[in-house]
Every structure is written in structure tokens, then in C-alpha cells.
Amino acid sequence: MDQSFSLAVISSITLYFVFKIYKEFSINKLKENKIEIVYIIKPLWGGNDVFENGLSKNCYTKKEITEVLDSYLLQQCKELNN
């Protein structure tokens, strides 16, 4: 097996687990602290849709406040209620 292919597979698996742990941590903090609205100031390292990629679309309502500021009103959903 090609060494670069092996490293790519290991990197992908590692990124998946890091994302999963970060997502669980973030959701737990939102619930623990009873967060109702999240503000995102752009640009973000890694892309401006980081928050959107972490939750299902039915878990928030996005509002673009300005060109560099978005708000996310959290909704009742399975991910945030478990």
C-alpha cells in the first residue's frame, strides 16, 4: 500500500473523530449553558459555515445581520434535546 494513501486515510479518520468529539462538546455546552442564540463574526478560519455544518438545519434559524455578522436562533430539535 502506498504510504501517502495510508497517511491520507489515517488523516481522514482522525479528522472525523476530532469533528465528532468537537460537535458533541459544542452541543453539550449549548445545552448546559441554555444558549438560545449564537452570533458568528465572519470570516472564520475553516469557512463561514462551520456552525451550520455542526447542526441539522431544523436546529436553528439563521439571520444575516450584516455582511460580517450572522445570528443563529436555536430551535427545539432532536440533536439539542438529547
pLDDT tens per residue across span 43-61: 887 777 878 888 899 999 9
Q: What is the arithmetic mean of pLDDT over 8-23?
A: 69
Q: Which residues pair with 72 in a beta bridge?
A: 38, 62
18 with 26: CB under 8 angstroms?
Answer: no
**Calpha distance 68→30 (Å, rounded):** 22
20 band by pLDDT with thresholds 50, 70 and 90: confident
pLDDT for residue 39 is more than 70: yes
37 with 72: CB under 8 angstroms?
Answer: yes
**Calpha distance 67→6 (Å, rounded):** 41
Question: 6 or 28: whose pLDDT is higher?
Answer: 28
For residue 37, which of 68, 80, 82, 4 has the smallest C-alpha distance?
A: 80
pLDDT for residue 10 is more than 70: no
Domain that residue 59 falls in: 3-81
Q: Count of domains in the chain?
A: 1
